[in-house]
Amino acid sequence: MENFTKKAALQQHLAKLKADGAVITFVPTLGALHQGHLSLIQQAQQLGNVVVCSIFVNPTQFNDPKDLEKYPRPIRDDIKKLEQVNCDVLFNPDVTEMYASNEKWHLDIGELEGLLEGKFRPSHYQGVTQVVYKLFNIVKPDIALFGQKDYQQFLVIQKMVDTLKLPVELVMCPIVREPDGLAMSSRNIHLLPADRQHALILSKTLNKIKQGFNPDNIAQLKQQAEAAISNEPGVELAYFEIADGDTLHPANRNTKNIVALIAAKVGKTRLIDNVVLVSP
Ligand code: AMP
């Protein structure tokens, strides 16, 4: 694997490959890689010739400085994992390579800005679009892959691509879970053993909703889910929504694309998860 920390060197490397006709696929990450990230790399390998993975803990998307500080950064292990799955290129810049001081950014992402995650993490999606825009400009991928795990993030990035007419195709990849159902996340290492058990209420509730899903009972199902999560010790629900998968507004019986989304704090760790209930 070729490992770059400087954008100019990476761009030079990729320009040569593109001149030879390579299709570049791209998987941006914050690192602390797990099987969920690696599944994105493997899916990227099916779609192109050269897979670029970026590892960059982007400060502008963290609302909480403590969260940023304690975000895991096991770069040596990450490199080993990427080599094991034959990733072609790693881009691992530091903050000064990505940002000049006092940079400004604002992108109109419409209502997605203030809904669900946007409501609980103000300015988060401005930081996400800021860094993904920069990364797309550096890598110039043909295809970029993102996880369904961050469902709203995918919608926000698609909105950016559409608004700015960026020449990249986005692909959403399924959520990879632990054998007991917990969605894999770099933040799971912060869960204490008891919290790790309590955290299962998220995937269990989503599963239950999926199994018994009836679009005529959305209000009742939502109430039951909220009660189940709130009754779990150590779990503080931020939101549970059965939403239109395109707009994230509450779904109704006529909605064509329905997703259930959860965010909750388990112990000190904030987790998110979701499941598609009806796809168009
Ligand atoms: P992150 O490093 O958390 O920003 O994640 C990088 C990419 O991996 C994002 O597109 C995430 O949606 C995706 N991802 C994170 N967790 C999972 C998972 N459990 N399954 C599939 N993709 C994931």
CA distance 67 to 261: 22
Q: Which of 149, 155, 178, 186 to mutate to test the pocket of ligand 1 (most atoms within 8 A of CB)?
A: 149
Question: Residue of the nearest CA to atom 10 in ligand 1?
Answer: 146
Give the pair of three-digit tokens for residue 96: 């000064």
Among candidate residues 13, 37, 106, 124, the one labeled active-site is 37
Interval between CA 37 and ligand 1 midpoint (Å): 5
CATH fold of 2-173 reads Rossmann fold (3.40.50)
Instruction: Tell me what pLDDT residue 253 has.
Output: 96
Measured from the Cα of 31, ligand 1's closest atom is 2
Task: Using DSSP, state whether 180 is helix, strand or coil.
Answer: coil
Query: DSSP string of 64-127?
Result: -HHHHHHS---HHHHHHHHHHTT--EEE---HHHH--TT-------GGGGTSTHHHHSTTHHHH
The span from the CA of 173 to the CA of 110, in Å, is: 24
Report if pTM > 0.85: yes
pLDDT at 102: 86
> Per residue in 89-134, pLDDT tens?
999 999 999 999 989 999 999 999 999 999 999 999 999 999 999 9
Q: Ligand 1 pocket: which of 40, 131, 172, 272 to mutate (most atoms <8 Å of CB)?
A: 40
Mean pLDDT of 37-51: 98
Q: How confident is the model at residue 212 (pLDDT cuts 50, 70, 90)?
A: confident
Q: In the predicted model, is pLDDT for residue 143 greater than 90?
A: yes
Rounded to an integer, the average pLDDT of 39-59 is 98
Residue 278 parent element (H or E): strand 269-278
d(CA 128, CA 183) in angstroms, rounded, equals 21
2-173 with 186-275: one CATH topology?
A: no
Specify whether 124 is catalytic: no
Give 65-76 pLDDT, tens digit per residue: 999 999 999 999
Instruction: Give the CATH number of domain 186-275; options: 3.30.1300.10, 3.40.50.970, 1.25.40.10, 3.40.50.1400.
Output: 3.30.1300.10
Q: How far apart are CA 45 and CA 209, in angstroms?
A: 33
For the chain, give the mean pLDDT. Answer: 97
Q: How far is the CA of 243 from the centre of ligand 1 (A)?
A: 21
The ranges assigned to domains in the chain are 2-173, 186-275
In degrees, to the nearest 5, what angle opens at C-alpha 156 toward C-alphas 264 and 240?
25
CA R_g for the chain: 19
CA of 36 to the centre of ligand 1 (A): 6
**Are the C-beta atoms of residues 10 and 138 closer than 8 Å to each other?**
yes
The pLDDT tens digits for 14-37 are: 999 999 999 999 999 999 999 999
Write out the H or E segment, with its range, that includes residue 144.
strand 143-147
Tracing tokens 């990476």 back to the chain, one arrives at 10
3-state secondary structure of 131: helix
